[in-house]
Amino acid sequence: MPHSVTPEAIPAVEQLIAKSEPGTQDMAMDDAPSAEVEDKAKVNLEDLFDDEDSDEEFASSAPVKSEEDASQPAATFKISDKSQYSDPDVMRAFYQRLFPFRFFFQWLNHSAVPSNDFAHREFAFTLSNDALQRYQSFPTADLLRKRCIADTPPRIDIGPVYSTNPRDRKTLRKASAFRPISRELVFDIDMDAYDDIRTCCTGANICQKCWAFITMSIKVVDVALRDDFGFKHVMWVYSGRRGAHAWVCDKRAREMDDSKRRAVYGYLELLKGGDQGGKKVNVWRPLHPHLERSLSILKEHFQTTILAEQDPWAEQNSAHLLNLIPDTKLREALQKKWDSSPGRPSASKWADIDSVAKSGALSKSSKELLEAKQDIVLEYTYPRLDADVGKKLNHLLKSPFVVHPATGRICVPIDPRRVEEFDPLSVPKVTELLVEIDEWSGEDSEKKIQDWEKTSLKPYIEYFRVFVAGLLKEEKEKGGIKRERDENGDVMEF
């Protein structure tokens, strides 16, 4: 089997073992090292070739491969569903035919003409042997595409834009000349954080019931970013398994320093304290308008998702609920009631709080009880953000539109206006998409139809296209005279 690894991949400069937390989507590598681990590199390369050799066992993938030039969709090989999602052949076909490089480029470049916004941007490739190549950068979308097709990375992360080209960082006289200068403000919501209140699934599994946690988080955070902070270009992306990322792409957001990022996170964070911290919500009254608004969004979800579906206080599990009730007299009355009828579901227990309080077992004011109940609603529904992803400028975050290696699903954008309709379990898998291309039976009219238009990925890429167009339009308007001159000529197409 010919080595489909391009020569530039072989002197792999920095191959690091991925050191992600189990389960988290993004690697904590804010000060992750850029060491050359030479002995490692050797081992990794061997692994890499092993992988290539093992291709043979996928009988369905015919050996015909168009190597570099994929603009001719001549390659016709069938992929069966059984192929591993990050199999190099699947990946190659994916990057050749489906990954929206053009819009991807425009998204990060903020203009149609190649600029440093794209050229100095760090990309990190996770290779099929789990080695991580950091500080990759590409002057144009085409070169990125070529490299993806050659290396077939199962995962691509996006880092910040640096002051100089990341590839040149070691040739600089002074280390301080290489520093991150901008990146999107990002958020990561992961199901991990909900493990203590999620009853339907555990670990990496999700179902529609627990996806509701992500749905309500998106609602709350999205409206705060837009109405409070005034950001306009917020893109939500499904992380491929059980979480979602937000990319705030406004120029104002991209240029924020770490302290401002921390401020945004501080504004949005509510739940404090570890498992031993007791009550996690401690807020002033009157509620801050942001919390007031969040509460009105979340109330409804509390009724459906928490009380009806998750049922967190069923059977003997009501201790935590009792702890959150500030009134000792009421707490004892409830404890007695629930002990005598252990089968009561959470919804009834929740209703019991008011009914028992009304029957006279309340020593504090009803206002205090209402506030305590509000706090409980917030504790169970308020977004739990993974703070470490977004507080630093130079953190890596998984790119949109890559394939999740374990589920095969594409990291597609989520339209926040229709977030309720989003179903993570119906997001297309890479293998399904490749089959769809092959089964497509429409005719090529005068306008050439892209491969992705033949698949169920189409609406997602359309959404991305419109999003990017909106971003570019604003950049152009704000760009002023200098940009205008560039635009006088024909817009360059990629």
Partner 1 sequence: MIRHDYSRVEPKRRANIDPKKRQFAKAEYAQQDYKHRLNFYTLPPTAEITLEEFETWAINRLKVLSELEACSFRNRSPEETAEYMTSILNKYLPLRANTSRGTNLQEERKRDHYSHFILRLAFSSTEELRRRFSHLETILFRLRFREDDPRERQGFVRSLDLEWEEVGDDEKRELRDQMLAAIGSKREEEQDWFKVDWERVPELVSQRKVLLKRGMAYVPAKEQTSLVVAEFTKRLDEQLELTARALPRLDEDDRLAPILAHLSQSFTAPEAAYSSSDANIDGLSAINSGAIDTLSQNFPLCMQNLHMTLRANSHLKHYGRLQYTLFLKGIGLSLEECIIFWRRSFKLMTDDKFHKEYKYNIRHAYGDVGGDSNRRGRGYTPYSCQKILTEPLPGPGQAHGCPYRAFNVENLTGLLQRVGIQDREVLQGVKEDVKKQRYHVACNRVFEFAHKKEIKKVKDEGTWSATDLDTIVHPNTYFKRSWLLKHLGDGNAGVVSGDKMEE
Site membership for partner 1, residue 478 (CB under 8 A): no
In angstroms, give the least distance from the CB of 390 to partner 1: 13
3-state SS track over 234-291: EEEEECCCCEEEEEECCHHHHCCCHHHHHHHHHHHCCCCCCCCCCCCCCCCCCCCHHH
Strands (DSSP E) contained in 120-242 are: 121-126, 131-136, 155-162, 180-182, 185-190, 234-238
Site residues for partner 1, window 343-372 (CB under 8 A)?
none
CB of 277 to partner 1, least distance (A): 6
The region of 107-115, 215-223, 259-267, 333-341 touching partner 1 under the rule CB under 8 A is 259-267
Stretch that binds partner 1, among 278-286, 314-322, 427-435, 448-456 (CB under 8 A): 278-286
Would you state the structure tokens that stand for residue 493, as one six-digit string?
């197409």
- Side-chain half-sphere of 308: how many Cα atoms within 13 Å? 9
Phi, psi dihedral angles at 204 (to 5 degrees): -80, -5
Three-class secondary structure of residue 394 per DSSP:
coil
- Member of 43, 201, 271, 322 binding partner 1 (CB under 8 A): 271
Interface residue with partner 1 among 55, 130, 311, 474 (CB under 8 A) is: 130
35 near partner 1 (CB under 8 A): yes
- The least distance separating partner 1 from the CB of residue 68, rounded to whole angstroms, comes to 32
Query: Which of 227, 420, 438, 484 is close enough to bind partner 1 by CB under 8 A?
Result: 227
Query: Judged by CB under 8 A, which stretch of 67-75, 253-261, 303-311, 395-403 contacts partner 1?
Result: 253-261
Count of residues in contact with partner 1, rule CB under 8 A = 56
* Calpha distance 291→288 (Å, rounded): 5
What tokens does 344 get? 């009561």
Report the nearest approach of partner 1 to the CB of residue 452 (Å).
34
Shortest distance, CB of residue 209 to partner 1, whole angstroms?
19
DSSP string, 64-118: ----S--SSTT------TTS-TT-HHHHHHHHHHTS-HHHHHHHHHSSSS--HHH
Distance, in Å, from the CA atom of 50 to the CA atom of 47, rounded to the nearest integer, reads: 5
Distance from C-alpha of 57 to C-alpha of 30, rounded to nearest angstrom: 39
Question: Which one among 102, 384, 395, 409 touches partner 1, defined by CB under 8 A?
Answer: 384
Please, how many CA atoms are within 13 Å of residue 112, restricted to the half-sphere of its CB?
A: 16
Residues 280-339 that bind partner 1 (CB under 8 A): 280, 284-292
Query: Whole-number minimum distance, CB 230 to partner 1, in Å?
Result: 3
Q: By C-beta, is 13 or 387 nearer to partner 1?
A: 387
122 given a catalytic annotation = yes
Q: Is 190 a catalytic residue?
A: yes
CB of 406 to partner 1, least distance (A): 14
Q: Which stretch binds partner 1 (CB under 8 A): 61-69, 87-95, 238-246, 257-265?
A: 257-265
Selected catalytic residue, list 14, 87, 157, 190: 190
Contact of 283 with 182, CB cutoff 8 Å: no
Q: Which is closer to partner 1, CB of 256 or CB of 356?
A: 256
118, exposed or middle or buried, with CB in 10 Å at 0-12, 13-18, 19+?
buried
- Site residues (CB under 8 A) for partner 1, limited to 158-217: 181, 192-193, 195-196
**Complex with partner 1: residue 279 or 364, whichever CB lies closer:** 279
Contact status: 462 vs partner 1 (CB under 8 A): no
Residue 200 Cβ, how far from partner 1 at the closest point, in Å? Answer: 17
Please pick, among 26, 122, 327, 352, the residue that the annotation labels catalytic.
122
Strand 180-182 and strand 121-126: pairing? Answer: unpaired
State yes or no: residue 38 binds partner 1 (CB under 8 A). no
- Is there binding between residue 373 and partner 1 (CB under 8 A)? no
Chain position carrying tokens 């991209």: 254
Contact 170, 125 (CB under 8 A): no
Report the chain's C-alpha Rg in angstroms: 25
CA distances from 84 to 29, 91, 404 (A): 28, 10, 11
Task: Indicate which residues carry an active-site annotation.
Answer: 122, 188, 190
Q: Which residues bind partner 1 (CB under 8 A)?
A: 16-22, 28, 31-35, 37, 130, 181, 192-193, 195-196, 227-231, 252, 256, 259-260, 262-267, 271-280, 284-292, 384, 387
